[in-house]
Structures are given as structure tokens and as C-alpha cells.
Structure 1
């Protein structure tokens, strides 16, 4: 069974690039099915860890980081200069910390072949893995 989790991002709606990111993840990970573990290592790099589940070994890759995303806010300003009233729109930019993360898990059977996968995270976190996996489908 393959588990594919959706986005849990505070940024908002999915963009077209985001849809491509998750599509590339799914397509690339499906391409790895049945291949030796080394194919995943060649594509994703060395895993960060492993654990044994029954006869299988699950390998994990992950990344997490925070970036400061600009957020533009407008407000109305009112006042008087001399006897003349005025109004204007003013804008300020603040930076909001945004967390990006992605986890990829690949299960390998006793024959050292990939038999299952799953991933979870958000667009920004999965982009690096997505671009590597996209090359498999090309």
C-alpha cells in the first residue's frame, strides 16, 4: 500500500508548481518500485536512518528548514494638511517565518528491492527530492 499525504502549509492554495512537485514525487517513487535500494540512494542521496519492520527495512530521508517569507500589508492613512483633508494607501512588508519539511520513507524487502514508499511534507520541503525524482521519469 502506498500512502501519499497532502500539503499542510499555511501559505495557502496549491499552485501549479506545487501540483507538479507532488506529481513528480509520486511518479519518481513509483519508478523506483522493484529496483535495488542503491537506485534510491543514487537518486535521493544517503538516507538519514533505517529501522527494521518484520522482514523489511525502512529507510528514511528528511529535511526541515525555516525561511522568512515576505508578507505585504496595506493600510489607509487619513489626515489633514492645513485645512485640506487627505487619504492615502500605505504599505509595509513584514517577514513571517515559514516552516518547510519533507520526509520520504522507502521499504526494502529481504531481497534488497524496493517494495513500498510513502512521503509527507509541503511543497517547499519536498522540492529538492521532487526535482531529483523527476529525472527518473524523463
Structure 2
């Protein structure tokens, strides 16, 4: 969880999923593994893959301090900048949905989440 998404893009996810349209659902399973759920809604069969994880990443910080130094009439203003880092919590999630025909051929797809969560699917589809 220390790194952000590498070279994964939403375009690559669309490309990979579009390439599956017209193929049997087994082609998707071979690429991205078994789905988490299978359900029928309004007579359409849907296969869903999902993942979520949490972690922390280090983000740079910058603090500026201003004030004055000296005594009596010798006061002078000063400004100092301190650089550091802070650990920030992150949440990665992704849900892929494939819609299949009665003959189990992929006819449509959808996805929801963020690149960090979908990166594993994007990489699998690129192979």
C-alpha cells in the first residue's frame, strides 16, 4: 500500500473491458479470476468482481513560521520554513460488473471505484 497507482489509467480499464465484449464469461474469468458474486437482475445475469483495501502513504508537508527576534529597538522580523512528511490514510476500492447474454457472452460492462482499487484489474486485463 505504500505506492500509488503506477501506470494504470481509466482508458486502459475501458480498453481491457471493451476487448471482453462479445467473448464468453470464461474469457473474463481467465483474465481477472473468479467473480465475487453472480446475480440476476431484471432477467439479466451480472458477474461482479470487487476489492477494497486501506493503507497509509507519506505526504510531504511544509510549515512556515513567522515572528520577530531581538530586544528593545533591535527587533527584526523572520520567516522560517520547515519541511517534513505526514502519514495519510488512503482507501482503495473497485467494483467491476459484466453483463452477459443468455448464452453467457459478455454484452456490457461497468465499473466503480478509484484507480488504486482498480489497478489490479487493469494490470490483469493488460496481460
What TM-score do you get using the length of structure 2 for normalisation?
Answer: 0.80
RMSD over aligned Cα, in angstroms? 2.4
Structure-2 residue corresponding to 1:133: 125
Residues in 1 aligned to 2:70 and 2:105: alpha-carbon distance in whole angstroms: 76
- For residues 40-98 of structure 1, what are the alpha-carbon distances to aligned partners after superposition, in whole Å with 9 as ceiling and x for unaligned? 00011010001112332100001111121212211124575998966432123111111
Structure-2 residue corresponding to 1:38: 26
Residues in 2 aligned to 1:126 and 1:110: alpha-carbon distance in whole angstroms: 27
CA contact (8 A) 1:109 1:115 kept: yes
| Number of residue equivalences | 119
User: Aligned-pair distance for 1:124?
Assistant: 0.7
Helix, strand or coil at the partner of 1:42: helix
Out of 52, 61, 66, which is 1:64 matched to?
52
Structure-2 residue corresponding to 1:28: 16
What TM-score do you get using the length of structure 1 for normalisation?
Answer: 0.75
Residues in 1 aligned to 2:54 and 2:99: alpha-carbon distance in whole angstroms: 28
Larger radius of gyration: 2
What are structure 2's unaligned runs of at least 5 residues?
A: none
- For residues 88-134 of structure 1, what are the alpha-carbon distances to aligned partners after superposition, in whole Å with 9 as ceiling and x for unaligned? 32123111111111110001111111111001111111111011112
Residues in 1 aligned to 2:92 and 2:43: alpha-carbon distance in whole angstroms: 33
Helix, strand or coil at the partner of 2:9: helix
